[in-house]
Amino acid sequence: MPAVVAVFALIAWPMYLIVSISFREGKSLNFAALGQRPFGLGNYASVLTDSATWHSAWVSFAYTFGTIAPAFVIGLGTALLLNRVFPWRRWLRSLMLLPWAMPGVMVSIVFLWLFDASFGVVNYALRSLGLITADVAWYTNESTALIAVIVPTIWKAYPFFTLTLLAALQSIPANLYEAADVDGASAWQRFTNITWPGIRGPAVLALILNGLWTFREFDIIFAATGGGPAKATETLGIRAYNEAFGYFYMGRAAAIGVLMLTIALAFVLVARRELRKEFF
Amino acid sequence: MIWKRWLTVLLWLVVASTVGAQPTTIELDFPTWQAEEPGAGEYWTELIKDFEAKNPGVKVKKTQVPFREYADKMTVRFAANNPPDIVHLPSRNFLAFASQGWLAPLDEYLAQTDVKATYTRMNDEMIYNGKYHGVLLMAYGMMFYYNEKMLQDAKLAVPKTTDELLKAIAATTDANAGRFGWAAPTTEHPNLVVEIGTWVTGERANLFKGNQYNFTDPAVIKAVDKFRAAIKNAPKGVSSEQARQLFVDGKVAMLRDGPWVAAALKKAPDATRPYLKMGMMPFATIPGGTSNSLHMPAKLDAEKRKYVWEFIKLTTTPEWQAKYTLLSASPAPRRNALPAAELAQRPDLALINKSAAEAVNLFPENVAVRENYNEYAKLFSEAGIKLITSERGTIDVMRDLQAELIKRIPLQ
């Protein structure tokens, strides 16, 4: 019974509210009066036929995959390094996890300075290396803004992979590697035949969780660009915020929220087969 | 028995602290984007000090919120039923808040003052549904700021027309040396709309024609092309606050901004301060408009309501209208706020008043646009970024913007 109450209060009721608001048409931020707005499918019709929505969906996918793929590679690399025995290993492990604990807004502020067009370290380094001749306005240029928000998100996302994969690596029996050494296996063969099968389950789970978190990421993008310039970094989450608190269309914002929920559910359904294979 | 003694002492302490306690303090929450602005920030500090002295037991908690996110933050607070006690708004956003029923009508309060009789008609912009929902703090004309030394080094006179201005901007720019002829918001910022609007109004073009958008009008396109020519020689990725700072630091030759920047010039480094000057805009028309205003939230308890009004009323008194002009170096809405004798000794304030008197409103007057100003400004600044960072034709960008505006904000 307590579980039913908890699920109803924490999940079902807020979900019902979002779905219910998504059917209320017109412009209002007055929550008490939202129930008096006309009921219909108008918000879904306008959201689904608006090219800006599909642009935001594309930005969300590009942002998610642009973050998760490199973050996974970095996370795997650091996990393999930290799994080795060397002095100060414990300290380094704690240090490596710090970005994960940083609030998104703080991460944005740090990277806004690093990528500053006139005084940023990134432009200075690229100029020194001769890779650019003029300063790049990373956050205000349509073609570079998405990269500029993906980089801090990778920095914040990779430690979760490190943590999960390191835990999985430590559960692989050492005698498997000893046997492989005796058989004369190469490093690549050891990785593909022992390491990867040993960490595949947690890796899939970490990819799904981190993927969903990145898909609904808000604070890093909002603090850095607010979705601009010219919608270049406007993910669905940022678009929902703008519709609600920028333009006062709460119904349209809720409809975008329902769309995001549907995409996330579809993603989990696709990954279900892999999850079942690994865990159930 | 010792514990009984301790308990007695403790009880006495509690009773003594309760009896001796000060009367409960009422705290009025007052977020503003001007708390740290030179000039305006000093005005608010002085005003609050006077208000607190006149109203013992009432404290005003002033907090700084960056302008770029100000309207959004206030929207979230009102939507969450947690509005500030003293509401300070950019006037261009006023109607969007009033139309949500978030602001209290002030006619009953204003009837006890001389505001309606002594303020300029700009204060009528605070009317929504036939009632005043705020009190204006300032209406202004744009000012032209220039670095005299940078112009002299380029052997140029102070520009008097937009063509001269564009030539001077190009001649004083050396991007590799970190020197720019012009500075303006070049990031997605509410003031990017003001910058483009200034060029359009200044060139006597109009973004609206009756109840229709007029963004593709040849005169508008010509004015926007001039904006693009100027912005090519401006540092990229800066907000209006950064643009001001670059001018004050002597890295920018010329700047368009409100009269409030005059107060910031006094804080310029010694090496540049003597060369930073203020003049009239070298445009055919002086663009301007209402700037900011004070309001009372519709939902506020009776006691706080009384003190919020006392605070607003204090700003309308002749004494504080004069101090507003002097401290913020901006024109107050009360006619002749500064006595003529005092004005004669301050040529800078006389110039600011002249600009305000000649100014033509650059902000949209259409009710539908005013009620949806946030959305209008967002779509406009997105187009503005395309004008700054892409090579797309001006007519194409403005046509797309107009089509989007017709779809999102149909005019009434």
Task: Give per-residue pLDDT as tens, A96-154.
Answer: 888 988 898 899 999 998 998 777 889 889 988 988 887 888 888 888 999 999 999 99
* B389/A140 Cβ within 8 A: yes
* Segments forming the whole domain that contains residue B295: 26-139+289-360
How many domains in chain B? 2
Please give, rounded to a whole number of angstroms, the shortest distance from the CA of B291 to a CA of chain A: 20
Q: pLDDT below 70 — which residues of chain B? A: 1-24
Amino acid at B408: R
Place of tokens 């998760």: A68
Is residue B150 domain-shared with residue B125, that is, in the same domain?
Answer: no
Q: Nearest-CA residue of chain B relative to A136?
A: B236
Decide if pLDDT at A235 tops 90: yes
Our measurement of the distance from residue B132's CA atom to the centroid of its chain's CA atoms, rounded to an integer in Å, reads 20
Radius of gyration of chain A (CA): 23
* Domain assignment of residue A10, yes or no: no
Asked if the interface predicted TM-score (ipTM) of this complex is over 0.90, the answer is no
Is residue B253 domain-shared with residue B374, that is, in the same domain?
Answer: yes
Residues of B at the A interface, defined by Cβ within 8 angstroms: 69, 72, 75-76, 78-79, 81, 96, 100-101, 175, 178, 186-188, 235-238, 372, 374-375, 378, 381-383, 385-386, 388-390, 408
State the pLDDT at residue B6.
63
State the pLDDT at residue B16.
55
> Could you give the CA distance from residue B198 to residue B361 in angstroms, rounded to a whole number?
9
Is residue B209 domain-shared with residue B176, that is, in the same domain?
Answer: yes
Strand partners, B27: B59
Is residue B34 domain-shared with residue B124, that is, in the same domain?
Answer: yes
Amino acid at A62: A
Task: Give per-residue pLDDT as tens, A197-227.
Answer: 999 989 998 999 999 999 989 999 998 988 8
State the pLDDT at residue B104.
96
Say if residues B372 and B382 touch (Cβ distance below 8 Å).
no
Is residue B95 domain-shared with residue B151, that is, in the same domain?
Answer: no
**CB nearest to A118's CB, from B235, B372, B374:** B235
What secondary structure letter does DSSP report for B156? -
State the pLDDT at residue B114.
93
* Domain assignment of residue A21, yes or no: no
* Domain assignment of residue A23, yes or no: no
How many domains in chain A? 1
State the pLDDT at residue A100.
87
Q: For the residues A163-184, what does the mean pLDDT come to?
A: 91
Question: A10: pLDDT confidence band, cut at 50, 70 and 90?
Answer: confident
Say if residues B108 and A277 touch (Cβ distance below 8 Å).
no
Say if residues A216 and A237 touch (Cβ distance below 8 Å).
yes
How far lies B356's CA from each of B142, B162, B192, B230, B329, in Å? 8, 20, 21, 24, 12
Rounded to 5 degrees, φ, ψ at B301 are: -70, 155
B184 contact residues in A (CB cutoff 8 A): none
Is residue B313 domain-shared with residue B228, that is, in the same domain?
Answer: no
* Domain assignment of residue A144, yes or no: yes
CATH number of the domain bearing residue A68: 1.10.3720.10
Is residue B240 domain-shared with residue B377, that is, in the same domain?
Answer: yes
Task: Give per-residue pLDDT as tens, A266-278.
Answer: 988 888 877 777 6
* Domain assignment of residue A194, yes or no: yes
Best A28, A29, A34 residue to mutate vs chain B (most B CBs within 10 Å): A29
Is residue B31 domain-shared with residue B61, that is, in the same domain?
Answer: yes
Is residue B225 domain-shared with residue B322, that is, in the same domain?
Answer: no
How far lies B272's CA from each of A152, B149, B170, B253, B261, in Å? 38, 9, 21, 11, 15
State the pLDDT at residue A278.
64
* A228/B76 Cβ within 8 A: no
* Domain assignment of residue B6, yes or no: no
Residue A144 touches partner B, C-beta closer than 8 Å: no
Q: Where are the alpha helices (DSSP H) in A8-117?
A: 13-22, 42-49, 51-82, 89-101, 104-114
* Domain assignment of residue B5, yes or no: no
Both tokens of residue B86?
A: 């003293």
State the pLDDT at residue B115.
92
Is residue B243 domain-shared with residue B391, that is, in the same domain?
Answer: yes
Is residue B383 domain-shared with residue B255, that is, in the same domain?
Answer: yes
* Domain assignment of residue A2, yes or no: no
Both tokens of residue B206?
A: 């109009």
B183 contact residues in A (CB cutoff 8 A): none
CATH number of the domain bearing residue B373: 3.40.190.10
Task: Report the C-alpha dihedral over residues A123, A128, A130, A134, rounded to 10 degrees.
Answer: 40
> Average per-residue pLDDT in chain A?
88
**CB nearest to A140's CB, from B237, B375, B378:** B237
State the pLDDT at residue A24.
87
Task: Give per-residue pLDDT as tens, B178-214.
Answer: 899 999 999 888 889 999 999 999 999 999 998 899 9
Radius of gyration of chain B (CA): 24
- Collapse the DSSP code of B149 into the 3-class scheme (helix H, G, I; strand E, B; otherwise coil) and give the result: helix
* Domain assignment of residue A16, yes or no: no
Task: Report the C-alpha dihedral over residues B176, B182, B183, B188, rounded to 10 degrees.
Answer: -90
Please give, rounded to a whole number of angstroms, the shortest distance from the CA of B389 to a CA of chain A: 6
Q: For the residues A69-76, what does the mean pLDDT come to?
A: 96
Is residue B172 domain-shared with residue B263, that is, in the same domain?
Answer: yes
> Could you give the CA distance from residue B410 to residue B404 in angstroms, rounded to a whole number?
10
Helix (H) / strand (E) containing B359: none
Please give, rounded to a whole number of angstroms, the shortest distance from the CA of B207 to a CA of chain A: 20
* Domain assignment of residue A13, yes or no: no
* Segments forming the whole domain that contains residue A252: 51-279
